[in-house]
Amino acid sequence: MEKFTVLIESRPFCAFNDTPMAQLKSSGMDLIDMRGSGIQDPKFVEALNRADAILCGNDLVVNDAVLDMAPRVKAIAKMGAGLDTVDIAAATRHNAIVFHTPGANNQAVADHTFGLILNVARKIIYCDRSLRENRWEHTKIMGLEIWQKTLGLIGLGAIGRCVALRAKGFQMKVVAYDPFWPTAFADEQGIEQVKLEELLKVSDIVSIHVPLIPETKWMIDEKALNLMKSSAILINAARGGIVNETDLYKALKNGVIAGAGLDVFENEPPTNSALLDMDNVVLTPHTAAFTFEGMNNMSIGVVEQLIAYYHGDKPVHIVNPAAWDAQKA
C-alpha cells in the first residue's frame, strides 16, 4: 500500500501537547512536519507535490493556486472553525474534502470576548500603562459598568451562545441577530431576536460572532457605527474583515462610539493600523482561541478526523460532502 502523506503546516498544532502528534505518527501515515513554513519556502512547495492531505491553520490560504501545486491532495484538515482561508469551491473542484473543528475553542473565544468587554469598559490596559508610567490617575480614569446593560450579539451560533451564557452572570439583557435563529436556546435563555439595525441602536455592547463571508464583509461600517450609542462598545473576536477599520477609527476618534476591543484585523499583523495609537481600543493578536484547552481540543479534533479519513470513514465535520461523494464514486 502506497504511503498516505500528511503535510503539517499549522503552527498551533500540538503546541502544548504532543499526544495528537503521537497518534498521527502511530497511525501509519507518513508525516511532513513543516509547521510555521509556507509557500514562500521551496521545500514547502516540494512537499505540497507529495502530500495527500494538508493539516493547516490560519496562515496558509488554500486556493486553486496552492492546490495546483498539490495534485495528490484529497483532504484539507483545517484547525479551528474558521474557513475563510480555505476556498471550499476550489477544493471541491480539485476533488479534495475539507473538514474543520467547530466547537473546539468555543469556551476560549467566549472567555476572551468577555475579557475584551471588561478591559474596554474599565480601561484596564490604560490604567496599567498609566501606573507603570508613574502616573497616579486615581480619580481621573472613569469606566463604564456592564452590570445589567444590554449586550447585542451579532451571531448566535456556538460561540455567541457561550457569550450569552456568560452575560447572564452580569444580569445583562441579551438581544441577538442571526438569520439562523436557535429558537430553543433563545427561548430558554430569554434572548430577544432583533434586526441588525435595532441591535445596533439598543445595545451598550455589540459583540460579533459570525464567519467572514461575502454577506458579512464590512458588515460594521460607518452607517452601522452611526446607529450605535455614543457610550457603546464594539467587540470583534470573529474575523477582521467584518469591520471596516477605517470607519471604526473615525468613529472612535470622533466619539461616535466609546470604545472597541479587537482580536482580529483586516490585515494581520496590523502593522500600520491607526488603531494602534488609540487609548479607547484594546487590541490582542488573534489569540482568542489560544488556550491550552482550546488548542488541544483543535489538535485532537483534526487528528481524529484525519485518522477516520485514512481508514475510509467520513470525517464528522466535512463541509463539502460533494467532494466526498466524488471520491467514493
State the Cα–Cα distance between residues 110 and 115, nearest whole angstrom: 9
Determine which one of 137, 145, 197, 268 is catalytic. Answer: 268
Ordered strands of the 150-154 beta sheet: 192-193, 173-177, 150-154, 205-208, 233-236, 259-262, 281-283
Q: In one letter, which amino acid is 327?
A: Q
Determine which one of 286, 304, 311, 317 is catalytic. Answer: 286
Q: What is the 3-state secondary structure (H, E, C) of the chain?
A: CCCCEEEECCCCCCCCCCHHHHHHHCCCCEEEECCCCCCCCHHHHHHHHHCCEEEECCCCCECHHHHHCCCCCCEEEECCCCCCCECHHHHHHCCCEEECCCCCCHHHHHHHHHHHHHHHHHCHHHHHHHHHCCCCCCCCCCCCCCCCCEEEEECCCHHHHHHHHHHHCCCCEEEEECCCCCHHHHHHHCCEECCHHHHHHHCCEEEECCCCCCCCCCCECHHHHHHCCCCCEEEECCCHHHECHHHHHHHHHCCCCCEEEECCCCCCCCCCCHHHHCCCEEECCCCCCCCHHHHHHHHHHHHHHHHHHHCCCCCCCECCHHHHHHHHC
Catalytic: 215? Answer: no
Catalytic: 268? Answer: yes
Instruction: Calculate helix-pair angle for 106-122, 292-310, nearest 10 degrees.
Output: 150
Determine which one of 161, 239, 245, 317 is catalytic. Answer: 239
Catalytic: 135? Answer: no
Name the residues annotated as catalytic. 239, 268, 286
